């Protein structure tokens, strides 16, 4: 697993927005061995529980939180 280090940045997770979908898809596509694939519809449905981390304007981290009960 690759670890990114940005010593000059204090990344803060934020709730994703619809405008982030392109960056999220790019992140998933760039890491197929480490990330579960998601369809466009799945990403849109899960946007309310998706968090991202940015470096500049690029999304460098993403997590989707789902509660199973």
Q: How many CB atoms lie within 10 A of CB 62?
A: 21
Q: Which residues contact 23 (CB under 8 A, 6 or more apart)?
A: 52, 58, 59
The whole model's pTM is what? Answer: 0.78
Q: Is the pLDDT of residue 1 over 60?
A: no
Largest CA distance in the chain: 40
Which pLDDT score, from 0 to 100, does residue 55 have? Answer: 85
Which pLDDT score, from 0 to 100, does residue 17 have? Answer: 96
Q: What is the pLDDT of residues 4-43, one digit of tens each?
A: 665 665 678 999 999 999 999 999 999 888 888 889 999 9
Q: Is the pLDDT of residue 44 over 80?
A: yes
Which pLDDT score, from 0 to 100, does residue 39 have? Answer: 92
């Amino acid at each position: 697993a690759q670890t990114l280090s940005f010593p000059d940045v204090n990344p803060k997770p934020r709730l994703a927005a619809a405008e982030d979908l392109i960056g999220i898809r790019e992140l998933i596509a760039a890491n197929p061995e480490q990330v579960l694939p998601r369809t466009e519809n799945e990403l849109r449905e899960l946007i309310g529980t998706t968090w991202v981390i940015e470096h500049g304007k690029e999304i460098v981290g993403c997590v989707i939180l789902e509660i199973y009960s």
